[in-house]
Amino acid sequence: MYRTHNCGELRTANIGETVTLAGWVQYIREKGAMTWIVLRDRYGFTQLMFEEGKTPQDVLDTIKGVGREWVLQTTGKVIERFSKNMELPTGEIEVLADKVVVLNKSAVPPFTIEEETDGGDELRMKYRYLDLRRPTLKRNLELRYKVNRSARNYLDTLGFLDIETPFLIRSTPEGARDFIVPSRMNENQFYALPQSPQTFKQLLMVSGYDRYYQIVKCFRDEDLRADRQPEFSQIDCEMCFVEQEDILQTFEGLFKHIFNDVKGIQMTEAFPRMTFDDAMWHYGNDKPDIRFEMKIQNLKAKNQVHCEALNGVDFKVTNEAESILAIAVPGASEYTRKQTDELTEWVKRPQIGMTGLLFIRCNADGTFKSSVDKFFSEDKLREIAAFSGAQVGDMIFILAGAEARTRKATSELRLEMGNRLGLRNPDVYKPLWVIDFPLFEHDEDENRWVARHHPFTAPKPEQIATMINNDPKIAAGVAFYDHPYNDIKANAYDIVLNGTEIGGGSIRIFQRDLQEKMFAALGMSEEEAKEKFGFLLGAFEYGAPPHGGIAFGFDRLCALLGGQETIRDFIAFPKNNAGRDVMLDAPSAVDDKQLDELKLILKK
Amino acid sequence: MYRTHNCGELRTANIGETVTLAGWVQYIREKGAMTWIVLRDRYGFTQLMFEEGKTPQDVLDTIKGVGREWVLQTTGKVIERFSKNMELPTGEIEVLADKVVVLNKSAVPPFTIEEETDGGDELRMKYRYLDLRRPTLKRNLELRYKVNRSARNYLDTLGFLDIETPFLIRSTPEGARDFIVPSRMNENQFYALPQSPQTFKQLLMVSGYDRYYQIVKCFRDEDLRADRQPEFSQIDCEMCFVEQEDILQTFEGLFKHIFNDVKGIQMTEAFPRMTFDDAMWHYGNDKPDIRFEMKIQNLKAKNQVHCEALNGVDFKVTNEAESILAIAVPGASEYTRKQTDELTEWVKRPQIGMTGLLFIRCNADGTFKSSVDKFFSEDKLREIAAFSGAQVGDMIFILAGAEARTRKATSELRLEMGNRLGLRNPDVYKPLWVIDFPLFEHDEDENRWVARHHPFTAPKPEQIATMINNDPKIAAGVAFYDHPYNDIKANAYDIVLNGTEIGGGSIRIFQRDLQEKMFAALGMSEEEAKEKFGFLLGAFEYGAPPHGGIAFGFDRLCALLGGQETIRDFIAFPKNNAGRDVMLDAPSAVDDKQLDELKLILKK
């Protein structure tokens, strides 16, 4: 060992001991005859002290050339520090060094290695090994490790088995794009990297392993939106002989366990549950941030008027809009014209895509004033305010237009107002189960059904008949939402934290005929289904048990627990938005020899 | 939940309780008015009992159609069993069923799902999900999980951090062949799958993470010898500020911890250590099975006579052979002519490649008799026997020929005799450290040096000068073993268990100039080194600490702990010797659309 102690452990109790430390130079300070060097390692910082006269001359000579990030080994006596630094655990002592060995030198780092750095994103990615020295990244990776360990401990205790599933599997283009891997031994054939271990964990249930988990890498070759990674990690779980309730209970427990272990937060109450339909109705999306209220008020939705006040008003906008949705924003009644103009511009941005913003001031004196006074009497405004549950001092913002776009826009506006009002505190954690997801989603481009979760999710038992007895085809002239498939719900659930989905799962199909019907409903021919998923259909022939599971986005969970928004800083070696590892300079060209062996030719 | 109890937990204490179980039909037996069904799940077996008159008629009707591997849910009362089966933990009770639900039917499995099966290898691979139901596979995967957990617990306690490293990295053809992954977003460029996280774990040390581990998948696109997998798992570890001794101590501890946890074996003594040179000298290979002695006797090695008795003998074979190696086999002096002939044929097989086998009988009466009596007097034989440490009753087997081939053959013969004499008991565990490996190996084809471990392994400090001060080029007319590089040793070590290498590692180079020298010694140009490993050389510029590590073959370790030889049965979904997943039928052809997007053309 190059050390007797690490840089985080010496205390006043060690005073008088001779110790050897090793670490990196964080900081050097000279004053008169004195020099101090702060040595850093994973565990902390310890100050070394040198003094002309006291310290051997060769040591003084050695430290003269030393710079930041040099690696030193030092031996000396622990002494009481003259000016104590009570913010550092080791701040009451220092080491009077009488031996120093330079283990390695360092060039001057391209950015500062401190809590906050002056390095830009690309530079930090290129020198990731230096960025990883920064305390903030170190805390993130340590937190990630803690979450990993906490999850394992909980699942271990409940009898879950960690079983590794393969990485070189079969490509089944469906949903996201696969990364594929050419096989040299099987000419012109390819493996695929798994998008998730979904079918394997189901097979393990068929094999009777009962409770499975894995913290595992998954791969998706998608165009990278901000903060997506081509490889990402998942806490992947499956159980058999369970119903939805068992899974919700079990993994609510996992969540509480992790929060307690990692954040010291005891979540004693049961997590609230909300149906998908309610989430859409009240929050405009399937992952509501319930740290604050400000629910969407459905004045009119899908051409159905819910707020009577809209009737008998000669206003084209509200009469013709498919949906009219509102939020009542507390304390906003005194917004200036400038503020309302700015918000109007905000909803008109292409990402939001609305044509305008109506508003009603609920004045302190009990009067109402709106941007549509020409069409709405004050009584009407009062009625709308009452319908919306608005209080004196609120401003009601109203969006009108086509259902889907308006609902999304209102949802975005709600979150934006939440941000502006400081209602989305990252230190407040409000988990939520969203349940009863639709089984199918309508693909507009192809006018067919796609699986909302995945093709292995089971319809609710009472709706199996609806699925089996109806042709999936959407007849000409029939709106997709009038097709019976549109109403079929699944025992599928997401766990949502502070407006972010961090996990989701479902009860699976375990009957061969139902699975075949499902593939057919998704437009897969019998041959195609057999070619892609024959092994699963085969497995369902031999006594598949009822089962279900869940998967958590591990990177995202860690980022949320770390109180940060970007997952990249919770991954040791992430890729940039072009899918590149800037440090390795990967991907890269490969040798012709490699391509020849794989029988591949590049199309330029 | 579909059950109140699992199939392994009911005991006499539960008698009288009404319980619900779910599981697979293992076995059905009828006798007169009685029917018994044994229900199986991961946790065990429980017998259900049905009796005409007692059991409701609808239940009797239901079970009439039931077959093996059907999935049932049953409710009934726990009763005392009439004829107890004390071999089963649940064998003192049975469940008098009064409700049965068929959760799923099963076709007749293609092979028996029992401890021993009648299924062939390919059939079992195709129906892996059924093979995994067999108790032996289940025990294997449970053991694997236990080893995983035990390793993590130990490393967690010592402050190691599990840090995930990337799977989509840069191809650096060096050593084994990479699997490569075409990038769609980076045209004509490829990622590679990691053969190990070697450089990443070293970077983590440069970043100051101090103690790292990971149980991680690695990939090698090699022609598959028996019992190799293209994807395999590794317990991968690295530490900084350590010397070899620290690593040996730490991971000997890991080993002992796992043995205690998983096998209940307390290994109290320090593991023996043997230098690579000694291992080759005494055992003929670098992974000696030390469960038994029967060491190789070096009568003559590399043309140097060690056993004086060989001098002054007019026998061409021994005079001309580069090496003459012997083993004294206990109790074999009375081998018949047939037995010695058979062994002679054995050493002549192409895998062994010797031209003949000499032997000396050490008879019970103290006399000696050999296959070379024509050339060796009895005194000479006695001398050889004494040199070889042979006892009365031993047979000395002697092989003569070129050093490398003869040593390998003698090593194989020793293991073969160990097997025949029952000296290689799989329930006896004899771990061993092999240390002081050579830094370089000679590549005959290209007459150059290759790294024995990998290019990041450091020479022993006292031999750095030898490396730096000598041109790696092997001058014309110079034998490679006369080149100074041949004698350079590394602080590299393997852990060997019962003749199998299950882990290995080294102290790493951490100085940029030495690493560059190393790449040059391996024939890499400066540009090439920079292109492939620029990030590592770069990292070494910024204060790299001394570090070292080790990696364990996780699949192999589990197989050894399970007392079995093949790793395949310790992997949930393995590939066959052609690298195929027979169940998935992977690899497979992919859509033209996928190839187009990746700008790839297949060469037929």
pLDDT digits (tens, 9 = 90+) for A48-60: 999 999 999 999 9
Which of A7, A150, A174, A185 best tests the B interface by mutation, with the highest count of B CBs <10 A? A185
pLDDT band at B407, cuts 50/70/90? very high
User: pLDDT confidence of A493, banded at 50, 70, 90?
Assistant: very high
- Three-state secondary structure call for residue A379: helix
Name the token pair of A80. Answer: 């009481």
Contact B170 A586 (CB under 8 A): yes
pLDDT tens-digit readout, B337-394: 999 999 999 999 999 999 999 999 999 999 999 999 999 999 999 999 999 999 999 9
Q: Do A581 and B510 touch (CB under 8 A)?
A: no
- What pLDDT is recorded for position B226? 72
User: Which residues on chain B are in Cβ contact (under 8 Å) with A170?
Assistant: 581, 584-588
* Contact criterion met (CB below 8 Å) for A542 and B112: no
Those residues whose C-beta lies under 8 Å from the C-beta of residue B335, and which sit 6 or more positions away, are B343, B359, B361, B395
Please check whether residue B196 is in contact with residue B232, taking contact to mean a CB–CB distance below 8 angstroms: no
pLDDT over threshold 90, residue A490: yes
CA dist., res. A152 & res. A262, Å (int): 13
For residues B509-531, average pLDDT? 94
What is the SS3 string spanning A109-133? Answer: CCCCCCCCCCCCHHHHHHCHHHHCC
- Is B141 within 8 Å of A161 when comparing Cβ atoms? yes
Predicted pLDDT of residue B151:
98
| pLDDT at res. A478 | 85
Cα B206 from Cα B544, distance rounded (Å): 5
Lowest mean pLDDT among B132-136, B328-332, B480-484: B480-484
| Angle, CA B197 vertex, CA A2 and CA B169 arms, to 5° | 135
Residue from the list A3, A24, A584 with its beta carbon closest to the beta carbon of B169: A584
Least confident window among A90-94, A239-243, B137-141, B593-597: B593-597
Architecture of domain B293-424 in this structure: 2-Layer Sandwich (3.30)
Show the tokens assigned to B387.
């040199």
Task: Sort out which chain A residues have CB atoms less than 8 A from B105's CB and list them.
Answer: 543
Report the pLDDT averaged over residues B19-46: 97
Burial A294-322 (b: 16+ CB within 10 A, else e): bbbbbbbbeeeeebebbeeeebebbeebb
Say if A246 is an interface residue toward chain B (CB within 8 Å): yes
Size of interface A-B (CB pairs under 8 A): 358
**Residue B85's pLDDT band (cuts 50, 70, 90):** very high
Check: CB of residue B12 under 8 Å from CB of residue B92. Answer: yes
Query: Nearest by CB to B188, which of A142, A586, A589?
Result: A589
Q: How confident is the model at residue B125 (pLDDT cuts 50, 70, 90)?
A: very high
- Subunit contact B178:A510, Cβ cutoff 8 A: no
In this prediction, residue A379 has a pLDDT band, given cuts at 50, 70 and 90, of very high
pLDDT tens track for B289-318: 999 999 999 999 999 999 999 999 999 988
DSSP labels, A320-334? H-SEEEEEEETT-TT
Are A243 and B24 in contact (CB < 8 Å)?
A: no
- The token pair at A425 is 């505190």
CB atoms within 10 A of CB B599: 16
Domain boundaries of chain A, sorted by first residue: 12-104, 136-266+553-593, 292-424, 437-490+511-544
At residue A172, the pLDDT reads: 83
Q: CATH number for the A136-266+553-593 domain, one of 3.30.930.10, 3.60.10.10, 3.40.47.10, 1.10.10.10?
A: 3.30.930.10
Other Cβ atoms closer than 10 A to B33: 12
| Element (DSSP H or E) covering residue B191 | strand B190-192
Q: How would you classify the pairing of strands A431-435 and A273-275?
A: parallel
Give residue B299's pLDDT.
97
Partner residue opposite B588 with nearest CB, options A170, A206, A231: A170
Q: Any idea what DSSP says for residue A588?
A: B
| B452, two tokens | 């024995």
Is B258's Cβ below 8 Å from some Cβ in A? Answer: no
Q: How far apart are CA B533 and CA B509, in angstroms?
A: 13
Question: B205, B240 in Cβ contact below 8 A?
Answer: yes
Residue B175 — pLDDT band, cuts 50, 70, 90? Answer: confident
> CA of A286, closest CA in chain B: separation in Å?
27
pLDDT-above-70 percentage for chain B: 100
**Which of B210, B206, B212, B507 shows the shortest CA–CA distance to A6?**
B210
Residues 6+ apart with CB under 8 A from B246: A1, B239
Q: Is it the case that residue B174 has pLDDT exceeding 90?
A: no
The amino acid sitting at A378 is: E
Span A299-303, average pLDDT: 95
Give dist(CA B144, CA A161) in Å, integer: 10
Q: Check whether A453 is labelled as a binding-site residue.
A: yes
Q: How far apart are CA A278 and CA A434, in angstroms?
A: 9
> CA dihedral defined by A339, A345, A346, A349, rounded to 10 degrees?
-170
Residue A66: list chain B partners with CB under 8 A: none
What are the backbone angles phi and psi of residue B536, rounded to the nearest 5°? -75, -45
B223 touches chain A (CB under 8 A): yes
Scan residues 58-77 of A and list those with Cβ closer than 8 Å to B. Answer: 69-71, 73
Q: Does the CB of A41 have a partner CB in chain B at under 8 Å? A: yes
The predicted model gives B149-177 an average pLDDT of 94
Answer whether A586 sits within 8 Å of B180, measured CB to CB. no
Taking the Cβ of residue A528 and every Cβ of chain B, the question of whether any pair is shorter than 8 Å is answered with: no
Whether the CB-CB separation of B571 and B153 falls below 8 Å is answered with no
Per CB-CB distance under 8 Å, the chain A contacts of B511 are 104
Percent of chain A with pLDDT over 70: 100
**Are B69 and B82 a contacting pair, CB within 8 Å?**
no
Distance between CA B90 and CA B12 in Å, rounded? 8
* pLDDT recorded at residue A136: 94
Contacts of A434 (CB under 8 A, 6+ apart): A273, A274, A275, A276, A279, A286, A287, A288, A493, A494, A495, A496
Name residue, tokens 């084209």. A316
- pLDDT above 90 (res A175): no
Average pLDDT of span A199-228? 94
Whether A272 shows a pLDDT value over 90: the answer reads yes
CA distance linking residue A78 with residue A21, whole number of Å? 11
Q: How far is A302 from chain B (nearest CA, A)?
A: 39
Interface residue of A41, A180, A570, A604 to substitute, partner B, most B CBs within 10 Å = A180
Residues of chain B contacting residue A545, judged by C-beta atoms under 8 Å apart: 22, 24, 71, 103-104
With 80 as the cut, is the pLDDT of residue B51 above it? Answer: yes
Residue of A161, A532, A542 to mutate, testing the B interface (most B Cβ within 10 Å of its Cβ): A542
Which of A42, A257, A411, A195 is CA-nearest to residue B209?
A: A42
CB nearest B169 (choices: A104, A241, A586) = A586
Residues A70-79 as b/e (b if ≥16 CB within 10 A, e otherwise) read bbbbbbbbbe
Output the average pLDDT for chain A: 95
For residues B74 and B97, the answer to whether their CB atoms sit within 8 Å is yes
What is the DSSP annotation of B477-532? T--GGGSGGGG-BBSEEEEEETTEEEEEEEEBP--HHHHHHHHHHTT--HHHHHHH
- Contact residues, A window 19-38, toward B, CB-based 8 Å cutoff: 22-25
pLDDT value at position B225? 75
8 A C-beta contact, residue A267 and residue A256: yes
Span A292-424: which CATH code?
3.30.1360.30
Please say if the pLDDT value at position B210 is more than 80.
yes
> Which residue type is seen at B341?
D
Judge whether B592 is closer than 8 Å to chain A, CB to CB.
no
Residue B554, marked binder: yes
Residue A170 has φ and ψ, to the nearest 5°, of -100, 140
**Beta carbons of A131 and A118 less than 8 angstroms apart:** no
- B571: chain A residues, CB-CB within 8 Å: 164
Would the CB atoms of B599 and A600 count as touching at under 8 Å?
A: no
- The proportion of chain B whose per-residue pLDDT surpasses 90, expressed as a percent, equals 91
Strands A44-51, A93-104: pairing is parallel
* Inter-chain residue contact B185 with A571, CB threshold 8 Å: no
Over residues B6-22, mean pLDDT: 98
**Per-residue tokens: A210:** 């009962």
Contacts of A598 in chain B (CB under 8 A): 180
Determine, for residues A162 and B182 on separate chains, whether the beta-carbon distance falls below 8 Å. Answer: no
Q: Which of B164, B204, B221 to mutate to test the interface with A (most CBs of A within 10 A)?
A: B164
What dihedral angle (degrees, nearest 10) is formed by the CA atoms of B251, B254, B260, B262?
-120
Q: How far apart are CA B317 and CA B401, in angstroms?
A: 8
For A230, the closest chain B residue by CA position comes to: B168
Q: Is pLDDT above 90 for B173? A: no
DSSP codes joined into one string, B437-451:
-BSEEEETTTTEEEE
Predicted local confidence at residue B546, as pLDDT: 98
Question: Contacts of residue B586 in chain A, CB cutoff 8 Å?
Answer: 168-171, 191-192
Compute the average pLDDT of residues B250-258: 98
Chain A neighbors of B589, CB-CB under 8 A:
188-190
What is the ipTM score, two decimals? 0.95
pLDDT score for B525 = 94
**pLDDT for A224:** 76
Whether residue A282 is annotated as binding a ligand: the answer is no
Q: Output the pTM of the full model.
A: 0.95
Q: Which CATH class is domain B12-104?
A: mainly beta
Residue contact B572–A598, C-beta within 8 A: no
Nearest to A203 by CA among A557, A569, A513, A541: A541
Contacts of B593 in chain A (CB under 8 A): 173
Average pLDDT on B433-462 reads 94
Work out the end-to-end distance of chain B between its first and last CA atoms, rounded to an integer number of angstroms: 54
Tokens of A75: 């031996």
| Segment A76-95, tens digit of pLDDT | 999 999 889 999 999 999 99
Instruction: Please give the Cα distance from A123 to A118 (Å, whole number).
Output: 10
The answer to whether the CB atoms of B223 and A590 lie below 8 A apart is no
Comparing alpha-carbon positions, the chain B residue that sits nearest to A509 is B104
Which segment, A217-231, B66-80, B221-235, is predicted with the most confidence on average? B66-80
Instruction: Tell me, yes or no, if B152 comes closer than 8 A to chain A by beta carbon.
Output: yes
